[in-house]
Structure 1
Amino acid sequence: MEAKLKTELGTTMLKSTGHSGGGCISEGQSYDTDTGRVFVKINHKSEAKQMFDGEMASLDALLKTDTIKVPKPVKVIELDTGGCVLVMEHLDMRGLNKFSKHLGEQLADLHLHNKRLMEKFEKEQQTRNEWQDDWVTFFSQQRLQHQLNMVENSYGDREARELWAKLQLKIPQFFTDLEMVPALLHGDLWGGNVSECADGPVIFDPASFYGHSEFELGIAGMFGGFNRSFYSAYHEKIPKAPGFAERNQLYQLYHYLNHGNHFGGGYRGSTIGIMKKLLK
């Protein structure tokens, strides 16, 4: 692998720094090169290239907003032995602590970025362009229904199926009179994907797409890692709209389903509990 990295990166030096990391899916290792230190994510599965191509596109999109710090992506490299690596900028990171407020402010700026671009465009064109979207259908069918189909195929869960049949009819009620402008989202913003450097907060391991800004806060509230100053700073710029609590539960439902489909049935209780609560 190291010979391949040298060739693809055009470096004569490739020295392991001893810094390593990884999550549930990929491994990680830092190297010194002729042009500086890089972090290399490694995955040996057949779908690794598709996954890393998506992550690189996500990092590029987040970087271009100039709102919040992310590692700069360098290159996706297919390995001769199978699998793939994603090379990105190495950042010296530590646990999120003193920059929680800054992260809240910058995440709000990220979510407002697309709206501000649209407002600038409308002002320059002296016309009003109404954004036509169908977030409710997209989220219900492409996100929740997809996950529930996977649950059905794996477990044949009758209770989940019956609850979903009722809940999907009620979902539009949670979005009544709600104004939404599509926001660029990190897409997987839990405590393990945030950190800080000496100069401010960092987010990484994105799965970005354009959607409702509140979606981001679903998984953020599930596993901890975000304190009161983060939420206060965020909502100072993007106040909670009526119905926020119910929609937050709905967005958490997606993440519990997704985790259950990835990591097993231990999340079923939370999934069933949220559906019952939303149907009351």
Structure 2
Amino acid sequence: GRCGGVGIGGARAGEQHPWVVPILVWQQEREKWQEMASLEAILKTQAVRVPKPIKVVELPGDNTVLVMEHLEIKSLNRHSTLLRTQLADLHLHNQQLREKMKKEGSTIGKKIFLLCGVELTSAVLFPQVNNWKSGWVSFFTRQRIQPQMNLIKRNSGDREARELWAQLQLKIPSFFCGIEMVPSLLHRDLWGGNVAENDSGPIIFDPASFYGHSEYDLAIAGTFGGFSSSFYYTYHSKIPKAVGFEKCLELYQLFHCMYHWNHFGSGYRGSSINMMRNLVK
């Protein structure tokens, strides 16, 4: 688990220091390289501030640390409206690159992700397979929800969950009818615990990024809190709601509930089952 931030160079509490080292215990080195790649990808968009990653270091005892820029932060408050706008800018970045390439008529030296599921990092305890997929529906169904369902079958064999999933997976394509999407760079774990601010503006951290439907990033905040309804209003003023937004959002929230069911126990079963019941209606 996470052990918080540790200053480098023997700095005492209250002293200013340019770096901070978050220590991730019992985690493979690959995970920290992936987190570093996520931070670098978001940093390059210049859409929203993240801590600048410096270096991944292996320590004795199978510990791995990621050295990052030190930022003095506090709870998000004054800059919450700006974060809504900047999150939309992050999600629009890939689309804007594509439009610029079309206008210039050249792809030389440009890198743009037109397919869903390009992974920059993965979860620690329950790795989520990420390969190139030409369709978001296929990627999300087969490589997000299905692995969680497989774990539920293996761990508890829950009959109602299995029966509901058999119905739901046939309906999922209908939720996305009429949606045209350029995959967006996603934070993937954007809830109240992973956002903050300083005097210069909002800051997001602890990303687990991949490319996919922009509305996916809105789901975990709605599931576990941290953002008010006005957050979505401001966001959708820049990126309008897609057709069938409510169904898609609940589907994305289902993934997070199923993940937590597998990760933290059966206390999340009720929410998962209720969401599946609603979605198959």
TM-score band, normalised by the shorter chain? Answer: 0.7 to 0.9
| Counterparts of 1:51 and 1:182, CA distance in 2 | 23
Question: TM-score scaled to structure 1, two decimals?
Answer: 0.86
Matching of residues 70-219 of structure 1 within 5 Å: 70-125=50-105, 131=114, 133-219=134-220
| Counterparts of 2:106 and 2:59, CA distance in 1 | 51
Residue 36 of structure 1 deviates from its aligned partner by 4.1
Q: Which protein is bigger by CA-based radius of gyration?
A: 1
Name the aligned partner's letter for residue 27 of structure 1: C
Contact 2:175/2:247 (<8 A) preserved: yes
Residue 228 of structure 1 deviates from its aligned partner by 3.5
Describe the superposition over 1:24-54 as per-residue Cα deviations: whole angstroms up to 9, x where unpaired. x311224154994222111221x33122111
The secondary structure found in structure 2 opposite 1:69 is: coil
| Counterparts of 1:84 and 1:126, CA distance in 2 | 41
Name the aligned partner's letter for residue 64 of structure 1: K
Whose helix proportion is higher, 1 or 2? Answer: 1
Describe the superposition over 1:92-142 as per-residue Cα deviations: whole angstroms up to 9, x where unpaired. 111111111101000000000000000001111179x9x563000000000
Contact 2:187/2:217 (<8 A) preserved: yes
Contact 2:43/2:52 (<8 A) preserved: yes
Describe the superposition over 1:45-79 as per-residue Cα deviations: whole angstroms up to 9, x where unpaired. 1x331221111110011101000000011111111
Matching of residues 215-230 of structure 1 within 5 Å: 215-230=216-231
Q: Which moved more, 1:48-57 or 1:159-168?
A: 48-57
| Counterparts of 2:19 and 2:242, CA distance in 1 | 41
Is 1:39 equivalent to 2:40 in the alignment?
A: no
Contact 2:48/2:86 (<8 A) preserved: yes
| Counterparts of 2:157 and 2:62, CA distance in 1 | 34
Contact 2:176/2:243 (<8 A) preserved: no
| Counterparts of 2:155 and 2:30, CA distance in 1 | 24
The one of 34, 48, 65 aligned to 1:68: 48
| Counterparts of 2:254 and 2:102, CA distance in 1 | 36
| Counterparts of 1:32 and 1:149, CA distance in 2 | 42
| Counterparts of 1:220 and 1:96, CA distance in 2 | 14
Cα RMSD over matched residues? 1.9
The secondary structure found in structure 1 opposite 2:166 is: helix
| Counterparts of 2:78 and 2:232, CA distance in 1 | 14
Counterpart in the other structure of 1:7? none
| Counterparts of 2:87 and 2:274, CA distance in 1 | 29
Residue 227 of structure 1 deviates from its aligned partner by 2.1
| Counterparts of 2:153 and 2:98, CA distance in 1 | 40
Matching of residues 225-264 of structure 1 within 5 Å: 225-264=226-265
Contact 1:104/1:229 (<8 A) preserved: no
Name the aligned partner's letter for residue 86 of structure 1: L
| Counterparts of 1:64 and 1:126, CA distance in 2 | 21
Gapped regions of structure 1 (runs ≥ 5): 1-24
Describe the superposition over 1:206-243 as per-residue Cα deviations: whole angstroms up to 9, x where unpaired. 00000000100010111221124422221110011221
Identity %, equivalent residues = 56
Give the aligned length: 254
The secondary structure found in structure 2 opposite 1:78 is: strand
